[in-house]
Amino acid sequence: MRAIITLCFAHIKKRKIQNVLLAILIMLSTLLLATSVTIIMNTSNIFEKTHHDSNGAHQILTMGKDIHNPNTVNNWWQEQQGVSASNLIPYRNLSGFTANGAETPNDLYLFMMNTPKMPFAIDRLLFSESKNQDYPTEGTIWIPTSMASTSNISLGDAIEFNTGEKAFSLSVSGIVVDLPYGGPFSNNARIWMNDTDYHKQFDTMIGSEQYMMALRFDDYQQSANYWIEFEKFLNGPYLESKMEYVDLYSFYLIINKIIGFIMIAFGVAMLFISLFIIGFSISDAILTNYKTIGVIKSLGLTSRKISVTYVLQFALLSVVSIIPGLIASTILSRVIIESSLSYLKSEKHLTIIQDIRITMLLAVIILVIVILTAFIYSNKTRHVEPVQAIKYGMSEFANKKLNRRLNNSNRLSNFVNLPIQLQIGIKNITKNMKSSILIIVLTAITSAILVFSAVMLNSFISIKQNTPAFGYDSSHVVVSVSNDATFSKQQFEQFLRSDERIKNHAWLDQFTGVLPNEPNQPLNIKVDTLEGSFDAAGYETISGRNPVNKNEISIGLNVAKALHKNLGDIVEVYIEGKQHHLIVSGIYQSIANMSNSARITADVIKFYNATYSASKQSMINLVDETLSDQIVDDLNNNFKSSVKADTQQTLLDDVFKVVVAVLIIPLSVIGILFITVTFIIIFSVSRIHVRKESGTYGIFKSIGMTSNTIRWSITSGVLFLSGLGTLFGIFIGIKLIPLALQSILLEYGLLELPLAINWPITIGLSLLSVVAACLGCWVSTKIIAKTSPRILLVE
């Protein structure tokens, strides 16, 4: 045993730099894997904890007075056993607000709630900032964390709202976690008002009051049975808006699901690279010490005991590496979770669970994998024959193979008559095929990560380039009507038609549609209704076409999947309580509402309401898009009392800046880690080769070659290999990784992720892997410059 321990520590001391670099590699693998596990585990747990603490709703129902009687609906649910139903909460709709002197984009629709006394029975509000209060005091409001974060609103800030008839200002006295309407990508926000302020501002406002109620089931799995009974009570389907638990849940998790997937995939890749390096190091150590092993075996030490020295060496390195990796993962995972789930932060912190059992299990798995790898590769000592080892310094077969490969490379060099520097580079590649393959694989993975990160971030930053592929329109300017009483559609359209800068426009409304889905619950979806051309507005489909006629409908991807419908099928849909049978003309993907939506023309509504005219939102295309800001200013100045105009770019940036802010930290960390790993591994591999070929380089120096010439020759081979790896990496980053994400994206209504590629930035970042590889090689060969030819020859 003493001999084994002595040999083990001798191996560690002999290759200090190589062992330190390998330890760093194992640590980084542990960091990525442990971080991804923590993120995935906590993402669901934190949402579930928040949902539990708030006694959260499983369903949210919104109603007016035109289709169902809200009191009748509420009374029925209040009487059910196994269901908790909130009281009806009245609210009025507004669009947009002004905070800190800056107007917000008009894509945020506000529910101005008449706040009941806290605590609510279900769907409670959790205070993120300020002390718990029974209700907002007069002149103040509570706002959700999502609105506070995206608009940089703090406690005490004044927010101005405009009803179209008048403007009023209220100060923020509370920032609350509001699960149903406070998540990422939400274009709705509940503003919680004092009862006195509510009646003072809205009693005289034109339009009807709406009502909201929340349902929580003792057993959510039984909700379908309750709805069967409820629809029997209604003598038909529930025809107004219903938000399901899955809708609340999904968008809180989408970003972390993507981050977790990326970190697991790249953590596993880094672990495999670590294992390859362990195998490479052991194989190299065996070849380098072949004679020594032969002598030791001839003295009586068995192959098994020699093998144990390598296993013990890498087991010790793993233990030393895994512990700091686990510690660092707690910090990195907290940073990522805090940024991605900030909307769920109550009392200024998130309770992040670090399950010691899972952490230890992961550590044990990594340690076992490393030990097994070391054992498998160290088993090669069984084949060491003392006589051959002492005679050739390797097996006789390996000696013949090496001579044959050197002869082939010499013939290749002579045939093409290359300069001596390139010949050295080619010999370095052909003589060390395993390390050459490693360099290609490593730079391919690193460049793939850098390319994917660049493309992913650019796709969200440049969302305007691909808005139709995300399910949005591609119009240049969006105008929302804020005051129906003062708005004249005729005057507005006359202004548009007289302006030569405007190419075309369309009007968009949104209704709640109900699609019966036997034997499951009916689908309550958003139905986009357009007065104009969907194609001209820039909407796209992934199959078929947008609706043109009054008997056609285009449906979202997840609606088609749920109903098992395809092009040409008939869909039964209720809109405003009226039944329609429409032909599916197209299927589209959309991240908004997770493709649980549909598109129809305004003619469908006019079929039962001849006087209907869409007048909620206008989408305008210009002859010259660069005039968008100018048109927005003109529209806001000319129709100040009734509309609010924004560029489409402004609206999209407001929605997707959250994604960019959350993704930039983990993608940057992963990219930096792999660049570092590339440098470390290629430094280590090149250092091994320099030691093995020290005699050859000593001869080159003794016949007049400079140290820099030799170093450039070696680096040129690495440059060629890393360049080849980068080409593969660009393909993997643009094609294969997004394809692997498809299973996650499909859940959120996207068949494929629309990519916007900035080629100069993408190629520039991919070349960082080449720079890291060449720099690692160049630094590792510094020993050639420092050492005299005589010493090199002796070594």
pLDDT digits (tens, 9 = 90+) for 765-789: 999 999 999 999 898 888 777 666 6
Share of the chain above pLDDT 70, in %: 87
Looking at every residue in the chain, the average pLDDT score rounds to 83
The token pair that represents 25 in the structure block? 């590699």
In 3D, which of 724, 189, 658 has the Cα closest to residue 442?
Answer: 724
Given a contact cutoff of 8 angstroms between Cβ atoms, the answer to whether 789 and 693 are in contact is: no
pLDDT interval class at 352 (50, 70, 90): confident
* Chain-centre distance for alpha carbon 225: 36
> pLDDT by residue (tens digit) across 153-176?
889 899 988 776 788 999 999 999
**Mean pLDDT, to the nearest integer, of 521-542?**
91
* Chain-centre distance for alpha carbon 703: 57
Place of tokens 């194992």: 26
Most confident residue range from 74-88, 199-213, 465-479: 74-88
Q: Is the pLDDT confidence value at 191 over 80?
A: yes
Given a contact cutoff of 8 angstroms between Cβ atoms, the answer to whether 63 and 243 are in contact is: no
CA distance 69 to 80: 18
pLDDT interval class at 311 (50, 70, 90): confident
> pLDDT by residue (tens digit) across 75-92?
999 999 999 999 999 999
In 3D, which of 678, 681, 687, 693 has the Cα closest to residue 780?
Answer: 687
**Mean pLDDT, to the nearest integer, of 491-496?**
92
pLDDT of residue 26: 86
CA distance 573 to 513: 6
Q: Name, in order, each residue with C-beta under 8 angstroms of 242's C-beta and a sequence gap of 6 or more.
A: 59, 60, 61, 62, 524
The token pair that represents 484 in the structure block? 């129906």
Q: Is the pLDDT confidence value at 387 over 60?
A: no
Q: Is the pLDDT confidence value at 130 over 80?
A: no
Backbone angles phi, psi at 584, to 5 degrees: -75, 110
Given a contact cutoff of 8 angstroms between Cβ atoms, the answer to whether 508 and 529 are in contact is: yes
Q: Is the pLDDT confidence value at 413 over 50?
A: no
CA distance 590 to 488: 32
CA distance 436 to 447: 17
pLDDT interval class at 795 (50, 70, 90): very low
Between residues 37 and 693, which one has the greater pLDDT? Answer: 37
pLDDT of residue 561: 92
CA distance 269 to 25: 12
Q: Is the pLDDT confidence value at 411 over 60?
A: no
Give start and end residues of each alpha helix (H) in 393-511: 396-416, 420-431, 433-461, 489-498
CA distance 492 to 124: 43
Residues 622, 627, 629, 633: what is their CA dihedral angle, to the nearest 10 degrees?
A: -80
pLDDT of residue 753: 82
**Mean pLDDT, to the nearest integer, of 458-485?**
85
**Mean pLDDT, to the nearest integer, of 411-416?**
46
Q: Is the pLDDT confidence value at 415 over 50?
A: no
Return the H-helix or E-strand segment holding 160.
strand 158-162
Strand spans (E) along 546-685 = 552-556, 570-575, 578-588, 597-601, 617-622, 643-647
In 3D, which of 581, 327, 631, 587 has the Cα closest to residue 475?
Answer: 631
**Mean pLDDT, to the nearest integer, of 421-447?**
78
CA distance 341 to 358: 22
> pLDDT by residue (tens digit) across 424-436?
666 666 667 777 8
In 3D, which of 507, 523, 508 has the Cα closest to residue 594?
Answer: 523
> pLDDT by residue (tens digit) across 704-742?
778 888 888 888 888 989 999 999 999 999 988 888 887
CA distance 441 to 435: 10
CA distance 673 to 273: 13
CA distance 596 to 557: 7
Flag the least confident range among 242-256, 484-498, 521-535. 242-256
Burial of 633 (0-12, 13-18, 19+ CB in 10 A): exposed
The token pair that represents 113 in the structure block? 């709630």
SS3 call for 164: coil
Q: Is the pLDDT confidence value at 392 over 50?
A: no
The token pair that represents 49 in the structure block? 């904890």
Flag the least confident range among 183-187, 257-261, 379-383, 696-700. 379-383
Burial of 144 (0-12, 13-18, 19+ CB in 10 A): buried
The token pair that represents 103 in the structure block? 């107007």
CB atoms within 10 A of CB 330: 14
pLDDT of residue 4: 67
Cα Rg of the chain (Å, integer): 33
**Mean pLDDT, to the nearest integer, of 602-612?**
90
The three-point CA angle 359-54-106 to 5° equals 100
Given a contact cutoff of 8 angstroms between Cβ atoms, the answer to whether 189 and 146 are in contact is: yes
The three-point CA angle 613-615-618 to 5° equals 125
**Mean pLDDT, to the nearest integer, of 406-435?**
60
The token pair that represents 642 in the structure block? 């009734």
CB atoms within 10 A of CB 706: 12
CA distance 60 to 245: 8
Given a contact cutoff of 8 angstroms between Cβ atoms, the answer to whether 132 and 173 are in contact is: no
Between residues 559 and 341, which one has the greater pLDDT? Answer: 559
Q: Which pairing describes strands 89-95 and 109-114: parallel, antiparallel, or unpaired?
A: antiparallel
